[in-house]
Structure 1
């Protein structure tokens, strides 16, 4: 019994020092939690098309309408000191389907020296287009573009593992933001890279006056020994017309190698350079703000998109039209209700697939906290 007290007395100084360190860390670090919830109601207007956009010719049962939880995100942000930040973002909505290689979205450490010199390490979205600049809860349409997801599956956008350097030149006649990174190139939530190849995307954003921004993106790399590349350009125009009205116009073009389609070959005999993807989208948005009411703003948007995942061979071009209205009941889209009509038109309808003309109504309710 006396030995126990002796051990306690010997280790007591170390325990108190450890507690002091924890207290010091907690005093210096600032930890913030935030979250976002998106729920949807989907309704297919076509008798032979389900809520996912898949066509059916058989007699099997499928749903024409359904409620769903699209995203249930929780984010932790920690300001460790004046230069180092750490961020983790998970989407619990992925547990509803197949969570493999999903759920974890952001997981990175950012080291900032000044406006010109910043580094980021971990899993995050590379800067390769206008849509990488804002989280999905600020998207003016019902979701990111089809282009974003296609280029994301080819490792140029969406969440990737790697490192980046970025900065900004503000005090100039033409303000400039610049980004360059190195990534594994095999998408998110992987234990490691599956080959020695890496992808290197880069981006420049020029401020052309107070309202217009021009973005240029380009990248190259290797995937399982195959050379891949991509490039794009985008224009973002924003203007507050008066106290109530504002307008925004976004347009973006991208083209690159579709390495996913290349590796989908049973016996890859067609060169990877023959698998090319390209797309463009245009999206005007008009907003009207209210004062001293629970309804903060109304917005009207229309996105047109053209996308061909394999335009050099047997591509099946997809055109999408999405008129949408949204109402915000709190600042910064903290409470937002959206309703849109998703109309897809394919060059060739392929029965019993999602490459089929569809018309769907989507209602989305969003809460940020």
Structure 2
């Protein structure tokens, strides 16, 4: 009963403020900030034999072709303990709609910042291993993160991992540099480590000019005695053309060992080095801003992605096309409505699996507070 009342209190706190987040002084040195984000979706499958999860059905069974869902319901607590130390906890209650095992808790870390050059982070958080690790999902220009992000996340290079990192930036030089290196369990989030193997991801970002950034990522490690590695390169360009028009272009390529696929085999006889994954995506985005209206911005984005989870063997390459229109009714995507068409095309269709050509309409409504 006590736990339920505490949880209810935490959930209600963000709604007590009209601003984004609510600051609560705890002591003379500690300050708490609560914030949250809600994403709700409507999915509609345009194919009679494909359900809303993208699963193909060859029989006559009854399946759902359209449905409402809560994709994310996040609550974040940021505790500023001193001018150098802060702690963050982020939970996603939307995970309760499916299997919440090893989910729900996303961020849970302590950060110690000495200056711009020296920062340490301990706990569960996202390693810096690609462009998509630089921003939360509520700022993604497409419907969601790329398929590449989730595949490499399942192999412990991205998404939420448990470990420690060192990061910083050098700004007062001709080409500013951001850097990060970490050590992680390599077992994904909310999971007890089951071996002594660790992964070591590292990343460099070069500010080529005010509009263009080049990122290089690489890492190596061991998983259950198997040597694994991954690397990537990404390019980000952003420019405000005038008061109304802006453009942004993001592209990324990554390749690595798919150890998740290797360990899925009952008795693997092929070495882990033969289980290789690679992918590339491009995402142009055009925005138009309004003044003195409730509608703040209109954006059009088109993401193209190629991904092969096992290209050295019998891989089944997946191509994804997502044209999307987005409307923002408050600053910084605080209120946002997105409408997109997700089209998946596989190298070969495999009946009664998710590896099948699909066409789905997705409407997503987002609120940040």
Q: Could you state the TM-score of these two structures normalised by the residue count of structure 2?
A: 0.93
Corresponding position of 2:7: none
**Distance across 2 between alignment mates of 1:275 and 1:24:** 51
Corresponding residue for 1:122? 123
- What is the CA–CA distance in structure 2 between the aligned matches of 1:125 and 1:334, rounded to whole Å? 23
Whole-angstrom distance in 1 between the partners of 2:26 and 2:365: 38
SS at match of 2:96: helix
Q: Is the 8 A contact 2:234 2:250 kept in 1?
A: yes
1:85 is aligned to 86
Counterpart for residue 171 of structure 2: 170
Cα separation, 2, equivalents of 1:25 and 1:366: 30
SS at match of 1:300: strand
CA RMSD of aligned residues (A): 1.0
Name the residue aligned to 1:201: 201
Residue 345 (structure 1) aligns with: 345
**Alignment match, 2:230:** 230
What residue is the counterpart of 2:283 in the other structure?
283
Distance in 2 of aligned mates of 1:183 and 1:213: 26
Aligned to 1:242: 242
Find out whether 1:259 has 2:259 as its counterpart.
yes
Cα distance between partner residues in 2 of 1:209 and 1:340? 32
Shift of the 130–24 alpha-carbon distance from structure 1 to 2, 3 Å rule, reads: closer
1:268 Cα shift? 1.5
Aligned to 1:30: 31
Cα distance in 2 for residues equivalent to 1:297 and 1:361: 22
Q: What is the CA distance between 1:25 and its match in structure 2? A: 5.6
Instruction: Quote the residue 2:299 is aligned against.
Output: 299
Q: CA deviation at 1:24?
A: 9.8
Q: Which residue of 1 aligns with 2:4?
A: none
Q: CA deviation at 1:257?
A: 0.1
State the number of aligned residues. 346
The equivalent residue for 2:75 is 74
State whether residues 130 and 234 of structure 2, in contact with CA within 8 Å, keep that contact through their aligned partners in structure 1: yes
Q: Distance in 2 between matches of 1:31 and 1:243?
A: 36
Distance 1:88 1:288 in 2: 35
- 1:357 corresponds in structure 2 to 357
Q: Does the 8 Å contact 2:29/2:81 carry over to 1? A: yes
Q: Deviation at 1:28?
A: 1.3
Partner of 1:308: 308
Match of 1:41 in 2: 42
Q: Deviations over 1:84-123 (max 9, x none)?
A: 0000000000011100000000000000000000000000
CA distance in 2, matches of 1:170, 1:245: 28
Determine the C-alpha separation between the residues in 2 that align with 1:89 and 1:312. 38
1:261 aligns to what SS in structure 2? helix
After superposition, what is the alpha-carbon deviation per residue over 1:222-267, rounded to whole angstroms, capped at 9, x for unaligned?
0000000000000000000000000000000000000001001110
Is the alpha carbon distance of 1:319 and 1:58 closer, same or farther for their aligned partners in structure 2, counting shifts above 3 Å? same
Q: Spell out, residue by residue over 1:54-93, the C-alpha distance to the aligned partner (whole angstroms, 9 max, x if none).
A: 1000111110000000000000001000000000000000
Give 1:321's aligned residue. 321
Choose 1 or 2 for highest CA Rg.
1
- How far residue 27 of structure 1 moved from its aligned partner, in angstroms, is 2.2
Q: What per-residue deviation string (whole Å, max 9, x for no partner) do you get for residues 317-343 of structure 1? A: 000000000000000000000000000
**Residue in 1 that maps onto 2:13:** none
- Distance between the aligned counterparts of 2:266 and 2:30, measured in 1? 52
For residues 245 and 77 of structure 1, what CA distance do their matches in structure 2 show? 34
Task: Tell me, in whole angstroms, the C-alpha distance in 2 between the residues paired with 1:200 and 1:318.
Answer: 28
- Show the counterpart of 1:151: 152
